[in-house]
Amino acid sequence: MGFHRRPAEPGLDRSTRVTVLSAAAATAAAALAAVPAGAAPQDKPSDTRATVDRLYEQAEQATEAYNKADERADKLRAQVERARDSIARGQERINQMRGALGALAGAQYREGGIDPTLQLMLSSDPEGYLDKATALDRVSTRQAGQLTDLRQAQRGLAQQRTEAGRKLAELEKSRTVVARHKRLVENKLAQARRLLNSLPSEEREAYGRSSRSGAGRAELPELGGAPSSSRAAAAIAAARSAIGRPYVWGANGPSGFDCSGLMQWSYAQAGVGLPRTSQAQRYAGRQVPLAQAQPGDLVTYRDDASHIGMYMGNGQVVHAPYPGAPVRYDPVGMMPVSSVTRV
């Protein structure tokens, strides 16, 4: 369903908390348990469609939690790679320092292996010996300084290794959360498919043509206007080019999208980096009233901002609705609007 597999990292421990994401998974699991797995014989088609809508809503909530966990895993993976590179460079530096110290120690031993007073007494050139002794003293001072540097470098490398181990453990924990959300979403979507398949064919077709069940849909003015900026215009062009491409949960293009993935990809084509989740995207710019919406603005839905689309003017948004429904236009008031963001 568009889940991106990640290669396993060797040598991971499991010590780091990902409390917020785990709590989100637990909440989604509780919501899932409360939803019936199939339509009862006495259910009306409208009731079944409403239940499918609820399942899709819950799937969207879990999808955005999945996206958040997956984004964090990507960041942690990059941090781990940087830590590995730094550790490798640090180890190479320590090896070089050890080699230099070894050479100094050998020279010191060769030049000062017997008692300095006896060497002075036996020397046929006392002045030359004193010059050499001064040089040896400078070598000893340099050696002591390099030994201090080596010890500091070793301590720093040990700290880096400890931090890398913590990041690896955190990465593994984050992957566990990603996998949990993947199972939640797949379970909800499977239930939705079973319910849809229980409907007569004409009801299934009607559901496919509609955007949502209609609950909470508001009658809103058809706002027109021009894009607020050239980057908004470029994002609009990208979103339009994606119309007809499939909804794929956890995907951000170019062949398939979930709702926030479509927004991220569209603005990326305009050279603008958006966060991965709809909850974060709502704060990716300046919020404006719905009555002042302009093409290119991001429209988030529901109080938890679990769905998002792009306003295109004339009372329409482009969005990735749900599995089985491709990227398309729908009325801006298809669901309760929570915010409008100008990027």
| Per annotation, catalytic residue among 49, 77, 181, 307 | 307
Cα gap 8→172, rounded to integer Å: 8
Distance from C-alpha of 216 to C-alpha of 98, rounded to nearest angstrom? 71
Beta strands at 328-331 and 286-288: parallel, antiparallel or unpaired: unpaired
Q: Is 319 one of the annotated active-site residues of the chain? A: yes
Phi, psi (rounded to 5 degrees) for 329: -85, 145
Structure tokens given for 331: 């009325």
Indicate if 307 belongs to the active site: yes
CA dihedral 292, 293, 299, 302 (to 10 degrees): 30
**Which of 59, 62, 239, 259 is the catalytic position?**
259
Cα 97 → chain centroid: 39
Which residue among the candidates 276, 319, 328, 342 is catalytic per the annotation? 319
Answer whether 321's CB lies under 8 Å from 313's CB: no
DSSP-assigned letters across all residues of 125-190: -HHHHHHHHHHHHHHHHHHHHHHHHHHHHHHHHHHHHHHHHHHHHHHHHHHHHHHHHHHHHHHHHH
List, by residue number, the catalytic residues. 259, 307, 319
